[in-house]
Amino acid sequence: MMDDLERKLDGTKIASEIRNDVASEVAALRERGVTPRLDVVLVGDDPASRVYVGSKAKTSAELGMSSETHELPEDTPQAEIESLVDRLNLDPEVDGILVQLPLPAAIDSAAILDRIDPAKDVDGFHPENVGLLQQGRPGLVPCTPAGIMEMFRREGIELEGRRAVVVGRSNIVGKPMAMLLLHAHATVTLCHSRTRDLAGVTREAEILVAAVGRQSLIGPDHVAPGAVVVDVGMHRVTDRETVERLYPGNEKKLSAFAKRGAVLVGDVDYTRVAPKASRITPVPGGVGPLTIAMLMANTVKAARLRRGTDD
């Protein structure tokens, strides 16, 4: 019988391994006179976006990369954001461009994202990179699914020939996740809000990835014994009753809630699903740290590809 510690896929630990590898690559590039640079565009003052952007800049600096944050007010016109993107596209010093989402409601986000030079599109959202991924050709891959694949690789989790089910078909997580699993020779099913008998489908999974955006939707009835479960969801729970229901008798969670007035919860009911799973990512400390580590890896990849130093 596996204990809790062996079962847990420790995203924080894996992310730190990825970051160490990226830092070595950055050091090697710097010896050749190349310092990879990530530019982040932040429009408006959404507090969560501000935190994410701050941690991206901090991580870039820790790994020896340079980074620049471009802060624009909430009411910035579309044309002004587009001309900033154009300028960054043309700047030879800039390797990666990330436009922090969500953009204000008045902005046409797709038009902004489509404008980013695909060679600098470290989020991997540009249709050219989406097409390259679909065809299995080298390009920049969205950070969250790329991080999950890196975790599978580093943890020795076999994918070839196995049944994988992805719940959620967003362009940033579900679809690219399904495509990467397919390229790794898993047999893939993609579920969404119109899927009938979701639990019946997910119980077929040897590898189950939940990217639904519905707090604790995936319960023990959705999971086959021995499945590998990856939880992409991220929700801030602020009522004590829900925390007590999700983590009965879990003093650590309850005291974290008492201290901060909130806890982070995923799309998977961890307490009830973990005993059935062979491996499982927690929230927090699972997929989240992998995403930011892969953003750094993508920036270095972009620097190498664009500057022709990929050897």
Q: How far apart are CA 29 and CA 21, in angstroms?
A: 13
285 near ligand NAP, rule: CB under 6 A: no
Residue tagged active-site, from 95, 121, 123, 269: 123
**Of positions 213, 219, 220, 285, contacts ligand NAP by CB under 6 A:** 213
Cα–Cα distances in Å, from 159 out to 68, 74, 210? 38, 44, 16
Shortest separation between residue 46's beta carbon and ligand NAP, angstroms: 14
Is 212 a binding residue for ligand NAP by CB under 6 A? The answer is yes
Helices 11-31 & 47-62 angle (0-180, nearest 10): 50
Query: For ligand NAP, which is the closer residue by CB, 64 or 104?
Result: 104
Contact positions with ligand NAP (CB under 6 A) in 9-38: none
Q: How many residues bind ligand NAP (CB under 6 A)?
A: 25
- From the CB of 180, what's the least distance to ligand NAP, in Å? 14
If one counts every other C-beta atom within 10 angstroms of the C-beta of residue 212, the result is 25
Instruction: For ligand NAP, give the closer residue by CB, 262 or 305.
Output: 262
**Binder to ligand NAP among 233, 265, 277, 302 (CB under 6 A)?**
233
Task: Convert 55-87 to b/e letters by CB count within 10 Å (16 or more is b).
Answer: ebbebbeebbbbbebbebeeebeeeebeebbee
Give the interface segment with ligand NAP, choosing from 1-9, 14-22, 28-36, 208-216 (CB under 6 A): 208-216
Per CB under 6 A, the segment of 38-46, 77-85, 268-276, 284-292 that binds ligand NAP is 284-292
What CA–CA distance (Å, rounded) separates 272 from 285?
18
- Least Cβ distance, residue 267 to ligand NAP (angstroms): 6
Q: Do 29 and 309 touch, CB atoms closer than 8 A?
A: yes
Point out which span in 99-107, 149-157, 191-199, 239-247 binds ligand NAP (CB under 6 A): 191-199
Q: Is 266 helix (H, G, I), strand (E, B) or coil?
A: coil
Which own/partner contact pairs does 238-247 have at CB distance under 8 Å and 24+ positions apart?
A: 238/262, 246/216, 246/270, 246/271, 247/271
Cα-based distances in Å from 254 to 105, 249, 251, 257: 36, 8, 5, 5
Which residue's Cβ lies closest to ligand NAP? 170
Which string of b and e fits 193-207 if b means at least 16 CB within 10 Å? eebeebeebbbebbb
123 in catalytic set: yes
Tokens 């952007």 sit on residue = 53
Residues 119-158 that bind ligand NAP (CB under 6 A): 144
Could you say which of 78, 189, 195, 271 contacts ligand NAP (CB under 6 A)?
A: 195
Residue 3 bears catalytic tag: no
Both tokens of 125, joined, read 């959202």
The verdict on 172 binding ligand NAP (CB under 6 A) reads yes
Question: Strand 37-43 and strand 66-72: pairing?
Answer: parallel
Minimum gap (Å) between residue 70 Cβ and ligand NAP? 22
Active site residues: 56, 100, 123
Which residues sit at the interface with ligand NAP, rule CB under 6 A?
144, 167-170, 172-174, 191-195, 198, 211-214, 217, 232-234, 287-288, 291
